[in-house]
Amino acid sequence: MRVVRRGPDPLIGRALGRALGVVLAVVLLATGCSSLEGTGDKGYISGDRRVRVIDPADRGDPVELTGTSLTGDPVDAADSRGRVLVVNTWWSGCAPCRSEMPMLTDAAKELGSVADFLGINIRDASASQGQAFMRSVGAEYPSIYDPAGKAVLAFAGKTTLSAIPTTIVLDAEGRVAAVITGEIPSEQTLVDVVHDVAGETPDG
């Protein structure tokens, strides 16, 4: 079921959400998403697959996201300004990450003229392990190798990253426009969200 909530959260909820997001981001990345309720021995937090779309007038500052890719190349999200950028957090040992990756790969190919895609690998033991997984699913877009959790902290104060995977859609200005918590519901859901964000007028 696709649930879309437009507009900002209430003031108190937003403040608590941001504070929790920073804490969870650090904990999830430092521990590999374990040791929190609901994880068992899976090594990840399962999300509810909810889609949250943020009205343009309520978006914050652009996300300053940089890092080094699985292939050792520098990555800067600012290179995608002027286009929508889809950012997905993942690692190869995460079951919902493995389940959704073919959908993300197909969406990236379908949206090639509309949006860029970027992964953030948060846990694999080596960059080569992450590369092998990406090759196995035919993913051609880059991923930042980020086991130390530095890159993902670019989202602190901008959105809550409470699950792995999480998919974040940045608008043409680099601002958080939509967030899917957990495995994406379907390829078409992501495609629709991206088209909606890409079709926004410059005035929002």
pLDDT in tens, 63-102: 999 999 999 999 999 999 999 999 999 999 999 999 999 9
* 75-83 contact pairs (CB < 8 A, 24+): 75/118, 75/142, 75/144, 77/118, 77/154, 77/170, 77/174, 78/174, 80/116, 80/118, 80/170, 80/174, 81/172, 81/173, 81/174, 82/172, 83/114, 83/115, 83/116, 83/172, 83/198
Per-residue model confidence (pLDDT) at position 49: 73
Q: Give the model's pLDDT for residue 69.
A: 98
**What's the structural domain count of the chain?**
1
What's residue 17's pLDDT?
41
Taking the C-alpha atoms of residue 159 and residue 21, their distance in angstroms, rounded to an integer, is 7
pLDDT at 161: 82
Residues 6+ apart with CB under 8 A from 11: none
Gap between the Cα atoms of 33 and 163, Å rounded: 8
pLDDT at 6: 43
Low-confidence ranges of the chain (pLDDT < 50): 1-46
CA neighbor of 158 nearest in space, from 56, 24, 61, 28: 61
**Which range of residues forms the domain containing residue 10?**
4-198
Q: What's the CATH code of the domain at 183?
A: 3.40.30.10
Evaluate whether residue 86 is within a structural domain.
Answer: yes
Q: Is residue 203 part of a domain?
A: no
Q: Is residue 88 part of a domain?
A: yes
**188 located within any domain:** yes
Residue 71 lies in a domain: yes
Query: Left (φ > 0), alpha (ψ -120 to 50) or beta: where does 164 sit?
Result: beta
Confirm whether 169 is domain-assigned: yes
Residue 139 lies in a domain: yes
Total-model pTM: 0.78
Domain for residue 187, yes or no?
yes
